[in-house]
Amino acid sequence: MPVTNFPFPALAQRALLTAAIFFTGCSESADRVSPELSLRQKIAQKLMLDVRYYCSDEQRQTPDDGAAPRCETPVTVLPDDLRKMISESDVGGIILFADNLADSAQMVRLNRDLRRAALESKSGLPLLVGVDQEGGRVNRLPRDEAAAFAGNMAIGATYTRRGDHFARETAGAMAEQLKALGFNVNFAPTLDVNSNPENPVINVRSYGESPQMVAELGAASVEAFQQKGIAATVKHFPGHGDTSVDSHTGLPRVARARDAAWAVDLLPFSRVIERAQPALIMTAHIQYPALDDTILQARSGEEILVPATLSRKILSGILRGEMGYEGVIVTDALDMAGISHYFTPEQAVVHTFAAGADIALMPVKIRYPEDLAKVDTLIDAVAAAVADGSLDVDELESSVARILQLKQRVTDPLWLQQGEKEAVHAAQSVLASPAHRELASQLASAALTSVFTPVDSALPVIHKNTRRVQVLSPNSAIGEAFRIALAAVTGADIEILETDSALDAIVASPADALIVASVVPSESAVEMGGAEDLAKMPYRRPDQKALYDIYRQSLVAARAQGSKTVFVSMRSPYESADFHGLADVYLASFDYKGFIGPGRKLQGPIYHALARALVSGTVPGGDLPVTVRAPALSTAPVTDVVSVLESDPVPGTVPASTPIDRPAPAAAQ
């Protein structure tokens, strides 16, 4: 079924097919008949590259230890080398990351330059400019300027009382932000059903564990994005929810039977295709033997079960054949270990095109001038596969036609027609929208959930007679965000505890209340950007076991001395089960990110929602969208107070600050 629900000006409705009329020139307003595309141009239209970093020869630095050079210079202004690559190669799309996005003025200029570079190509075809703006864990726009929304599981927690309201409204708000900045593709929403509590990469990026709820909220989100001119991308097909491995670091396998696959993982995709007709569907780098048990030979000679991204049975057979999907299929980033560990870029692209994918996302990295040749090398490899029959010519033609139909729908010529100052001003106005910030606040409050029924006497946690509150969190930035939010609702002194001295402080001088805020699972590569960030991960992850020991000891000690205790799961609600019986109140916020700007102004709706809940006598109104099972026996019984008070806290390698989307003063992200 065709992609619909895109409103466009009359100018943009002129045909944009292979030998049809395209908007060209710097204004995207002059039209001409595009020449017939060559084979190389058609292949290039099927590539979507990232320009996250680029280093000229002058910027090249070789590490002292002799390791390979590593380029980490963000592209915030389009270099001439990359401009030339885009215009000469006819590449079809570009994906941007948080590193590329500093403020509204810079974002507008960069996107205008990217789109102009494409229009200067021989074909004059417009560019797809995409970004991962899911909300919650995966948020690319700068938080100091753009309202940021809690992610999908927070929305799932509001479903019982508010239906699809927040899915629709937040997607609409994000679409307004992205469109004003010059984006036309968003790689959201996630339709994975998070049925595995140990899932390290999906988890709270999922709406929840109910396939029906995921389908309904996903459809509402897709409709809202596309009604406002942003192509939505549902992911990760055929479903990444029942995995315990991150496909950035390995190749996960889903062990469901085929009937269960259709009842759980595939159901949201089937229903969203039928109801909302998403513009794009992104593949998952997972093995799903019930859907395809084909064996492929990896570059090492090893035989492996085919990943879904390279599976013809899954992409062409199930997605196109059985589900009738007629939109664009895009791969997840091909530099992820789930693919790149087993296949060369050329092998991966040829395999995925043969499977039925339309767009190969991030197939090669271009970080230095010598990398520019990789694009031609990749196109050569695909052209050779066409020549030897490995790739079907008719299928390639149909694939390119789908991409061009998508471009027809998302190319708004008026955005480039306006002057730069006008475009910047318009973007700044949208990003400053009070309505967006109010919506973010409403979602944070509505999503806040009591994991276990609180002790009646514990509410409110903080009242008019409360004099001191202690806060224990993984790092000082999160603690400071709590201090600012709590100061707005109580006159009590707020003491931020250091993890390595928390137990001593609690024993020596207990407060009226102790709040323990936990952020688990650890940050995954997708939050930082992608597979390229894996080398940084060991330096940014806390020792979870050591941290949990400190939390348990602190909760036990505080309760033994009469303090009220609160455990807040600021990311995954599943972890509350590990602390069952140790706190009076258990809250799940599904989000922990924020921004502390000049004047100690906190842009962090979830912290303000938590502060309001802690001074309220009413149980928060959210409902868990996943099952959290309390253990039969607590892992650290409250009765064992003496041994806990006499033991030393286990030292942890807790980082000094939390991972952030971009450098910023006192950020709590």
Which residues are catalytically annotated? Answer: 332
Please state the φ and ψ torsions of residue 6, each to the nearest 5 degrees.
-115, 110
- ∠ CA(306), CA(309), CA(313), 5° rounding? 65
Contact present, 153 and 204 (Cβ < 8 Å): yes
- DSSP conformation letters of 234-280: EEEET--TT-SS-TTTS--B----HHHHHHTTHHHHHHHHHHH--SE
Please state the φ and ψ torsions of residue 107, each to the nearest 5 degrees.
-65, -40
SS3 state of residue 363: coil
- Omega cis (within 30) before 605: no
- DSSP conformation letters of 409-449: HH--HHHHHS-HHHHHHHHHHHHT-HHHHHHHHHHHHHH-E
- ∠ CA(596), CA(597), CA(601), 5° rounding? 75
- DSSP conformation letters of 476-502: HHHHHHHHHHHHTT--SEEEEEPTTTH
Unique residue bearing structure tokens 């400190």: 550
Closest CA to 128 of 23, 26, 45: 45
Contact present, 112 and 120 (Cβ < 8 Å): no
Unique residue bearing structure tokens 């999503």: 447
Contact present, 91 and 407 (Cβ < 8 Å): no
SS3 state of residue 329: strand
- AA identity, residue 131: V
